[in-house]
Structure 1
Amino acid sequence: MAYLSTTDFTQDKDFIDKWLYTIRTGEMDLSWMKSATEKISPEEANPRRGLTYRDLNVGTYGYTDIPEKVRNNRSYAPRGAEIPEGVPDAQPWVSRKSELWAFNTESYYEEAVSRQWNATTDIPWDRLDGVELPEVTGKALSQLMTFLTEVEMIATDTPAMWLPRLNPDFIEVRSFIAAQAMDEARHAEVFRKRALTTGWGLMQASPINEMALKHLRDADSFSEMSVALHLVAEGNVLTLFRFSEYLSPTDVDKKIFRLVMQDEARHVGYGMQHFKYVLEHFPEKREVLHAHLDEAENISFAGAAATELTEAFIILAGGGLKKENIEQGIKITTQFNLKQMQEHFERLDKCGMPERRQRSKLYLMYEMGRAAAENAGIKLN
């Protein structure tokens, strides 16, 4: 290995002579043809769906029998390949299944590649021609889009930075994470385009929200990152997208939010399935997951204090700056904030952690907020 790392092959006469001799004479080694690997014949379980990762879950190429700790592969070799001496150590950080595996991972990837959409051609941008929103509404919409561009930029960076750290034996997870990064890049693109097409350009970045977003990048482990990003942050954003689609001032905006919602739901689904997998297979990690949630809830939900988002949301929800508009906007924004918290705990219930309601300070905040809203005559579903 030291020789490989220090030798300049272009200056190695013996290597060049051997290479030229092989090409000139056709005397090949062909030892790779004798690789001690399994011979299989995978078939499509559903011809309409095509050959999927799940169809390849056979023998040594499958994922069913991946051990908790991958010990025999630290290279870039794909799972099932023969690993000869001399391959480099890729130094993967994540080689434990409990750190990243999720039920149905391969299905989430297949869905991601089959439901790709194009922010350039799949959005009817021409329908915005001649559409002029009132100044206050246009600026509020642009501020929302500015905030969402920030969100999606960090949501692109965070999963992407983990890709080279994941052991290649977990190819299904690596493929899903790569597809997610592409999803998030497309979201950042579509929100930036919409901000600029409002006629008001981008508005103001949010210090509070960016501090919360930075927390996602600072996670010490992939599992901690997944709890914070896939389960908590993207769960919150999924609720935000649904309310934003409802508040959208144009059909173009509604189309945007419907498309990003389908991607976000997939990311949240992976997070939930990873959480469930860990709880079911490694119950001793339950307290670790509670600790991850303590931090993620505290930081992610603090974004509600950011005026850059909250005030823009109130204006869009109420339709203006008159007193009656603001009152209506506050009611809808309150419903949205409480719905975010409600759905967060509903997701944890489905994951198998119903006791989170008793452990979380956020749930106490939710109950207090719900009581105050009901006393104020704000109806909640």
Structure 2
Amino acid sequence: MPATIDLEDLSFDEGAHLLIARGLAGLCPGDVLTVWGVGAAFDLMLGAWCRTAGHRVDSPDPDPTVGRHPVHIIKGLKEDHRWARAVRAGRSGQPSAGADRRWGLAARGALVGSGGPELDVRWVERDLVWADVAPTLYARAAANQWNPDTAVDWNRGPTLPDDVEDAVVQVMTYLVENEQAALMIPARLLGSLHPQFREVMQLLAAQIADEARHVEIFTRRALLTRDEMGRSGVEGRASLQSLLDEPDFTLASFLLSVLGEGTFVDLLGFLHEHAPDPVTAQVTALAARDEARHVAFGVAHAAHVVDVDPTFRGRLRGAVERRHDALRDTAGLSSAVYDSLVLLAAGSWEPAAVRRGWRAVQALQARMDDGRRRRLSVIGFPDDEAAELSALHTRNFM
């Protein structure tokens, strides 16, 4: 039976071409589609559309009995030039080993028409950014987002001795400074990542949101009873700048998450244990939970890269050594922060308490070292090399 459609009074500026294209879709080249219509400028618009799409038009004389005439469209061989060389942007279910910048922002697995601008991103190789655990970690991160206004009971404001409150303010100031670096680094990496690796992009976006909340809650705790923040030492800023200066995706992730944030998880646990008030205990526990996810991705990603290319361990080692050399002449953790940690662990200025606080901070540093060594071992470093690299990590913790 001949293919026929009746457009009635539907014009091309109202979508008539959609019905024509649908009618032609099931036909073979050379088949005829008969179209009836009385819409505005019907013949003119139909002819123009068919020429663009590669079809021929045969318009017989009008039928005087009906006051209109059919148009016969002979389906052509020509395909829409935009799709003649179309390719798939990988497969929907999993990222490609290599992404094509010409895919632009197309969804993974989409049919990408030829032409258009290339995406200006740096990281297009899966194994340089990937970890199999990324989708699971993103799902966990999405499920565990929290609101600083409601997750923390800000009404339980502390009534602490001035020197203890000063110590809290100083430590919170230090935490904010470090979290701001931890916010900027994944933001920079995210902007250089091909969307073919969307699970990693989503995880980095969640990490950025985490760090933004951490900056907020540590700032709010610092200013809960004070009008000003504490001190920012040049040694701390120099240490963090060395993280910002690392351009490589894996090396930046390794230095920030495996070594820095991994060490920070221990610090947050210490602060939670020795928190002198409920708000400090809450904000450090919330931040530590988020940071553990960041560390998990950093370790899994570094382990993935080393598994693909065992020689990459040399580059990881080189990054640690370069950073150590760059910071060799700095003083490490500022005395203002170190002394504040001692006081928080001590709880008072009694000599026995100060001794206890000092030893607690020393024990914290030992736990930090042990944690770094274990994470380095997971990545594939032998125990002796893991111990050596851990010892080279910045004394500023992050």
Q: When the two structures are superposed, what TM-score results if normalisation uses the length of structure 1?
A: 0.77
1:82 aligns with 2:111: yes
Q: CA deviation at 1:157?
A: 1.1
Report the structure, 1 or 2, having the larger strand content: 2
Larger mean Cα displacement after TM superposition, 238-247 or 343-352? 343-352
Q: CA deviation at 1:98?
A: 2.5
Quote the residue 1:329 is aligned against.
Answer: 357
Q: CA deviation at 1:226?
A: 0.4
Selected match of 1:104 from 123, 133, 139: 133
CA distance in structure 2 between the partners assigned to 1:335 and 1:117 by the alignment: 31
Q: CA deviation at 1:330?
A: 1.2
CA contact (8 A) 1:61 1:79 kept: yes
CA contact (8 A) 2:223 2:229 kept: yes
SS in 2 for 1:127: coil
CA distance in structure 2 between the partners assigned to 1:25 and 1:361 by the alignment: 66
Which has more radius of gyration?
2
Selected match of 2:241 from 214, 228, 231: 214
1:24-80 deviations in Å (ceiling 9; x for gaps): 554357879999788xxxxxxxxxxxxxxxxxxxx811226x21x323645111211
CA root-mean-square deviation: 2.9
CA distance in structure 2 between the partners assigned to 1:110 and 1:235 by the alignment: 21
CA contact (8 A) 2:373 2:386 kept: no
Quote the residue 2:282 is aligned against.
Answer: 255
Amino acid across the alignment from 1:126: N
Quote the residue 1:313 is aligned against.
Answer: 341
Selected match of 2:92 from 37, 40, 61: 61
Quote the residue 1:183 is aligned against.
Answer: 210
Q: CA deviation at 1:351?
A: 2.4
CA contact (8 A) 1:73 1:169 kept: no
Q: CA deviation at 1:323?
A: 3.1
Quote the residue 2:99 is aligned against.
Answer: 70
Q: CA deviation at 1:286?
A: 2.2
Q: Cα 1:298–1:238, aligned 2, differ >3 Å: closer, same or farther?
A: farther
CA distance in structure 2 between the partners assigned to 1:332 and 1:300 by the alignment: 26
Amino acid across the alignment from 1:135: D
1:27 aligns with 2:27: no
Report the structure, 1 or 2, having the larger helix content: 1
Q: CA deviation at 1:298?
A: 6.3
Quote the residue 1:136 is aligned against.
Answer: 163
Quote the residue 2:38 is aligned against.
Answer: none
Selected match of 1:150 from 165, 177, 194: 177
Q: Cα 1:278–1:191, aligned 2, differ >3 Å: closer, same or farther?
A: same
Quote the residue 2:3 is aligned against.
Answer: none
Selected match of 2:123 from 86, 94, 104: 94
CA distance in structure 2 between the partners assigned to 1:364 and 1:268 by the alignment: 19
Higher normalized contact order (CA 8 Å, seq sep 6+, divided by chain length): 1
CA contact (8 A) 2:324 2:393 kept: no
Q: CA deviation at 1:338?
A: 1.5
CA distance in structure 2 between the partners assigned to 1:34 and 1:317 by the alignment: 70
Q: Cα 1:173–1:73, aligned 2, differ >3 Å: closer, same or farther?
A: farther
Q: Cα 1:72–1:193, aligned 2, differ >3 Å: closer, same or farther?
A: closer
Q: Cα 1:151–1:313, aligned 2, differ >3 Å: closer, same or farther?
A: same
Selected match of 1:357 from 364, 367, 385: 385
Quote the residue 1:116 is aligned against.
Answer: 145
CA distance in structure 2 between the partners assigned to 1:35 and 1:23 by the alignment: 29
Q: Cα 1:280–1:311, aligned 2, differ >3 Å: closer, same or farther?
A: same
Amino acid across the alignment from 2:348: G
Q: When the two structures are superposed, what TM-score results if normalisation uses the length of structure 2?
A: 0.74
Amino acid across the alignment from 1:348: L
Structure 2 residues without counterparts, runs of 5 or longer: 1-10, 23-79
1:62-109 deviations in Å (ceiling 9; x for gaps): 226x21x32364511121112212321121111122321112101111
SS in 2 for 1:125: coil
Amino acid across the alignment from 1:266: R
Quote the residue 1:204 is aligned against.
Answer: 231
* Identity fraction in percent: 26
Q: Cα 1:287–1:242, aligned 2, differ >3 Å: closer, same or farther?
A: same
Q: Cα 1:297–1:364, aligned 2, differ >3 Å: closer, same or farther?
A: closer
Quote the residue 1:345 is aligned against.
Answer: 373
Q: CA deviation at 1:123?
A: 0.4
CA contact (8 A) 2:238 2:327 kept: no
1:144-176 deviations in Å (ceiling 9; x for gaps): 011111111111111012212101111110110
